[in-house]
Structure 1
């Protein structure tokens, strides 16, 4: 601050306190306030008090009285009605004669909500104006451009003139940002705090407003900060070359709040449907909590599509979105042999609830249902990963916990599972689950659960289902409910666990089940129709079953030491053997007989057949099971010589063997020993590669017809076991950043994969988003020399399946798939997904994708050259959401 110059002026005027010079009195009041940085209207009254003791009988008393009369509030009020602060690096010069203050070099001035920084600032307090401009450095180049900030608005011009009283301003070569727009104008007139008029303006979303790759040029602009921009004749300029794209006027909303508006469509053409307008619609900004987007497509052959997309959220409560898609597809023309007409639809809904909003209850939804062929035939979805998936699934659930003693938990769930190949749909509308916490009736007051008796506990579980099985053609029709199955199951498990000989864990349990049905089956032979009739009997019926089970298990640790000087110092082997036994008695009392044919041959059946919870078993189940789990871990010398402790390395995450023996097997329909199932898995290369394998070993031999017989294979001249099947899968994922992020969330939501092995998901509704999982634009800058380590990622998957159940001894499946994405240059990205099937001897799904970052624009090309899903898509457009309708999108329609 220039305190020294101000104090000198003050001293000079103080020597003449009784002079009647009006200029000196006003000047004194002004600079006393300016030097202190604050000015108030009461300061004038203070002057009266300071000169008040003038009752002496001389002429100066009258003069003073006259001065007071002149210095009233009727005098023209200066602009300084608020706190003023200023500072300059070189000097702050005050010109009393011209009533100006000049601040030079890194000058700053603060007044009310106004902040002004510049190379030079000239304050004209006679006209209530301030001027700010650039200065030249030692090389003659302009530097220290003005920066004018008022409230939330900020302008960076070449120079500015501002009137403090009228709040009007003239700004030369202003640069400002409003939302995603960056605006530069040769002359800007600030009418008031809310209206600006611009002349010779250009606005862009480019980061460099002085040298943008594109901009909109217009001669006249009315600009209301935070609300809107209205322009006259507007012309689009790309690389400083005017284009034919022009509008007689333009309107751009600038508010940060969502606004309703029309969505501009794109033009396309199809070989089978003709010309089209796609993605024409309207966006409804309904409130801060939810919105709605309505989109539509229309083809000249009569095909059309409608899409409704809505997102909703309430902070700390819930969030979700809903997508409803409907398409009426007509191929070719009526009368031609390839003419077809069909309707497809898809409904997606996700909902999640914040656990803090209600700790004892929760509601969630994940829905993906609709036509089985939607993703194969949709005109607005290219999603091969979803197309190859055979299942669509949905779940909507509500759960609540009652904090009673014991605690009670309930859950109501509606589920949906749909096979897109068979078009069969299975639903539960709804299912009910309820349970009461475990009760330990023999635990004492000390609460210690130790031993066989004290560990005895029981529980109550209730399960209810309303199951519906239907097809695509009957979905949402009354007929889908005709074969609905309804049931209720009560279950009371009783269990205990204890130790035997300190090292063996033992458990024993018994289970009681009671099942209720609302309809059963009566089966008989109709002699007139010569057929067996299954008659549905409506009415309540129930059956009750019980079973027993027990198990023994332990853990054995073994360590093989090789010495501290060896690279592999030790191998640790952990074995977890277990033996289980289960017994379920026969419930023949629920079985009846019926005549199979006219001869009177009888067969057994139960009226509970086909029930949602099954039927009681007729034969005893008396099975003992054997399981052996293995884990192998090694201690190796660390490559880092500064570390003294060995490094742990997992050799095999698991190696499991399992089989069982049925004491009640008859040797004909059932065999005593079940095949031995072997499975295992491990991770290699710092967990970047996962390897899983499995095999099935059958101890029984085959006869000449390749049927399994009740004779051990080793007794039939073979080995101890027959290898009937085996499988191996390997997945290797690596990148320059080790795949720290997941991708393709929309593809997963549609039912596809997280990786790119079946290509990326291409949503044709909005192509502005990158297909690559790239960093933000601010981090993806062009450097003088491109990095030698190119950013990239790769996913490799290999699958091998062997079959020998009936001596076929062949490789059933053998394929490899790979997906690679890389930054070819700082602004070019490329990717490929492909593979090869060694059994079918052909290339699997292949997709090529390229993308060019054009700073404010984005261009990409996506091409699937082979197969029934062959297509290509080209897009170029502005990244900014506010200008998302400025684009060119062209794609093939070979598979549509």
Structure 2
């Protein structure tokens, strides 16, 4: 192990002893109460409880006395109880309680098998007692304020505040501490002899602990320790220090972050995640970490979290990597500079109900995740997009209500390196106004239901690439525009069962960029001239629809397993009228003679494209169906249980349209889609297909002839897609487990493990085991570490996709792949996870990752392996789980061989 573990041992002693206050009267601000599990409060009814005030008269002293006795006595009420007996001896000035004894005096609460209080000398003794078999029981439990100690015996002076405690046991944060002898000298100094501390749940028989023979502890100031040694399974290890001195503080403090050492094939030896933590304030912090590789590669990271309770919270993550492959001057030399910026901000809903600010930013180099050497990015290498959004919205509580929003968005394709941004987008709307309906009256009929809205949207769109991001050229081709929409709509019923809706929409578009096309005789080509300046166009349309709902139920009988099947059908017919806006189109000479002319619109390269030139008179036809079954509930525990509803087909829909204004190909292809859930709603199946009624010619173009008239079927299936998702665990009431790795989710990756799980070997808290799983430390000794015939927890996720294409009679499967991921327990302490898949079209295995983990109670051991592909790597880790000792670890890894892109 590395030598920096010595420093970690010292740090852990500091963190442990820094909060150790075993028998003082002062209450520490950072102490964590430990509940009394050994003895419960057993104060009896009033007839056994005695509030006693014992007064000791002042002792008279003669003149010849050389030693004057001080005034002694109790100055507060004592509440006490004992199951066997309680005795007050006025001669010895003693109060004795035996068997399940309790004593409450001032702020002191003491429970033990036996308690003796000498109120003449202000001393309290507490100890355990033996049962009939000679075993000790009823260990002392001492509480003063929030300070709690369990021990074998306690001797405490209520006046001088001095105390001596034998075999004390207490919890301080994540640590469990046991000291052979603890002595409190005064209000500010403690001495501990034979102390051992650990994060193990079993303080009596821990799998590891740190032992030191001498400790001097001054709360809030310093800790001085003697020789300290780490023990594993009660065997001393070479990890030891002769002595140490530590300053103390109850507040978060800045400090060094210990790096991880390793090596890989291309960059050589490295130090990763070393740096400095800045505890800037109670509201925000900053961690600066970096990596260094012996071939000159390096990485820098700045991470800050901030929070203001009941107002907002968030974090900022800035990452930069300079990666070098090969040797300078050789043909294989490569160098890549990549960066990534993440920002997440959330406002508390209670902070301001009428305004809200939110941010979710993930932008940077397109190849950052593909080239990154950090294990945090393993689950994100297959990401194809990066997206960001920063928004501010406000609602004005007027009549009508006005909504306002200002946002900036970013979308980046990591394959093409194309970036589309809006800086900014302005949106505003005025709530619905019913001009013909009374303010508090019902809205019935075609007239009273007429409503008007107003919406406006303004944008500044930027299309650029990685290489021009935030450079001068990026802003030169920005496009400005604004759209105003005034929709007017109404709805009403006809013939009681038919719902009718009608609407018209007026839209006015303002743009700041237009074009002009002309023929350039010098180069003998058409040229496009970009023009800047204000221009506008106006469009409108009309739409209406009528629909109803038809119910049908077929009963099989209450004695049948399937009692009934219910079919709900929702047919709908719509009509849309869109006029032609030819007035916004111009012509230009496309050759030198001027005889050949072409049409174009000056708005066609603008932000919102050109208005429609074709007149449309469209009738849409759609039918939506749901089919469900009523199934008998065969619950033996509840014979009167209601029947269950099972969905057979969810949203079986048929949609097509007919354009009355078209001169040919009036029917649009029919789209059919449906979905259902199976296996207790753990499997989702979705099917979609497109059917074209028209035939195609030898060139693959649609012709104005029905396919059935061309010797084919009624419809020609041009495409189809089937997706299946299945998630299951060993517990019937749970779906498949989700990957809780928040960094992968923030990177834009999947929340499940189908694309692999990010593996941060620098964080010992990252585990395959769920936090809510059964506590393994409570297992029976017969099953520890071995195979067992009881509970075998597991979870499995399957995703399957099949795509068929037949647009031009190619009749081929364009996509056919399956992905699987899961985790299962081999033994109570061994867990395995995997992520893999197979592409049946490309005939190859997709990204595969194998994960193994061994739970060692206070420790954890991991092995992660990607055996195939371009990202092959393996990593081994063993370390302490506790966050305060997370740097006590050892890891070895073989990183992927990165091919810089």
Identify whether the pair has TM-score above 0.5, normalized to the shorter chain: yes
Tell me which residue corresponds to 2:746. 749
2:182–2:193 Cα contact (<8 Å) kept: yes
1:646 to 640, 643, 646: 643
* Equivalent residue number for residue 150 of structure 2: 156
Moved more, 711-720 or 595-604: 595-604
Residue 116 of structure 1: CA displacement?
2.6
1:626 and 2:628 correspond:
no
Match of 2:881 among 862, 868, 879: 879
Conservation of the 8 A alpha-carbon contact between 2:126 and 2:155: yes
Name the CA distance, whole Å, in 1 between partners of 2:88 and 2:439.
91
RMSD: 2.6
Q: In the alignment, what sits opposite 2:793?
A: 791
Match of 1:826 in 2: 828
Distance 1:597 1:464 in 2: 38
Q: How does 1:237-276 map to 2 (within 5 A)?
A: 237-250=231-244, 257-276=251-270
| Aligned residues of 1:347 and 1:370 also touching (Cα < 8 A) | yes
Matched, 1:484 2:478: yes
Paired with 2:435 and 2:115, the residues of 1 have a C-alpha distance of: 88
Pick which of 423-432 and 495-504 moved more.
495-504
Q: Is the Cα contact below 8 Å between 1:93 and 1:103 reproduced in 2?
A: yes
Question: Shift in Å at residue 336 of structure 1?
Answer: 2.6
Matched, 1:300 2:297: no
Corresponding position of 1:678: 672
Offset of residue 487 of structure 1: 0.5
Distance 1:410 1:817, change over 3 A: same
Instruction: Name the SS of the counterpart of 1:245 in structure 2.
Output: strand
Alignment match, 1:762: 759
String of CA shifts for 1:793-846, please: whole Å, max 9, x gaps: 111222111111111112222222222211222221111222222222222222
Which of 191, 194, 197 is the aligned partner of 1:197?
191
2:814 match: 812
Query: 1-side partners of 2:365 and 2:131: how far apart?
Result: 71
Query: In the alignment, which residue of structure 1 is the partner of 2:38?
Result: none
Give the equivalent residue in structure 2 for 1:603.
Answer: 598
Instruction: Check whether the contact 1:201–1:217 (CA below 8 A) recurs between aligned residues.
Output: yes
Q: Which runs of 5+ in 2 are unaligned?
A: 1-48
* Number of the residue aligned with 2:27: none
Deviations 1:630-672 (A, max 9, x none): 11112222223713643322110111111112233343xxx32
**Aligned twin of 1:26:** none
For the structure 1 residues 384 and 453, does the alpha-carbon distance in structure 2 shift closer, same or farther, using more than 3 Å as the test? Answer: same
Distance 2:331 2:849 in 1: 32
Distance 1:466 1:86 in 2: 78
Query: Aligned partners of 2:316 and 2:64: how far apart in 1?
Result: 74
Greater RCO structure (CA 8 Å; 6+ sep) = 2
The correspondence of residues 293-442 of structure 1 with structure 2, limited to 5 A, is 293-442=287-436
The answer as to whether partners of 1:234 and 1:249 remain within 8 angstroms in 2 is yes
Answer yes or no: is 1:518 the counterpart of 2:518. Answer: no
Which range moves more in the overlay, 564-573 or 776-785?
776-785
The higher radius of gyration belongs to: 1
2-structure distance, mates of 1:586, 1:210: 86
Larger mean CA deviation between 673-682 and 728-737 belongs to: 728-737
**Cα distance between partner residues in 2 of 1:615 and 1:318:** 43
> 2:685 corresponds to which residue?
691
Contact 1:460 1:490 (8 Å CA) reproduced: yes
- 1:253 deviates by 8.3
**Residues of 2 paired with 1:672 and 1:253: CA distance?**
84
Q: Does 1:233 align with 2:235?
A: no
TM-score (norm 2): 0.88
Moved more, 600-609 or 521-530: 521-530
Do the aligned partners of 1:380 and 1:764 also contact (CA within 8 Å) in 2? Answer: no
Q: Distance in 1 between matches of 2:425 and 2:183?
A: 68
Aligned-pair distance for 1:711?
Answer: 1.5
Shift in Å, 1:399: 1.0
2:46 maps to which residue? none
Tell me which of 850, 853, 865 is aligned to 1:851. 853
Contact 2:776 2:857 in 1 (8 A): no
Cα 1:250–1:327 shift into 2, 3 Å: farther
CA distance in 2, matches of 1:85, 1:496: 78
Task: Answer with 795-804 or 459-468: which moved more.
Answer: 795-804
- Could you state the TM-score of these two structures normalised by the residue count of structure 1? 0.89
Aligned to 1:547: 541
Evaluate the alpha carbon distance shift between residue 502 and residue 418 of structure 1 in structure 2; reply closer, same or farther with a 3 A threshold.
same
Q: 1:76 to 1:330 in 2, by over 3 A?
A: same
Quick check: 1:383–1:760 contact (8 Å CA) kept in 2?
Answer: no
Structure 1 residue runs of 5 or longer lacking an equivalent are: 1-33, 48-63
What is the Cα deviation at residue 118 of structure 1? Answer: 2.5
C-alpha distance in structure 1 between counterparts of 2:582 and 2:245, whole Å: 81
Alpha-carbon separation, structure 2, partners of 1:647 and 1:610: 56
After superposition, the Cα gap between the structure-2 partners of 1:87 and 1:340, relative to the gap in structure 1 and judged at 3 Å, is: same
CA–CA distance in structure 1, aligned partners of residues 435 and 451 of structure 2: 7
Question: Partner of 1:117 in structure 2?
Answer: 111
Q: Does 1:37 align with 2:48?
A: no
Q: How many residues align?
A: 837
Shift of residue 777 of structure 1? 6.6
Conserved in 1, the CA contact under 8 Å of 2:777 and 2:857?
A: no
Counterpart-to-counterpart distance in 1, 2:776 and 2:708: 67
Distance 1:892 1:525, change over 3 A: same
Partner of 1:614: 609
**Match of 2:766, SS?**
coil
Q: Aligned with 1:762: secondary structure?
A: coil
Instruction: Tell me by how many angstroms 1:888 deviates.
Output: 1.0
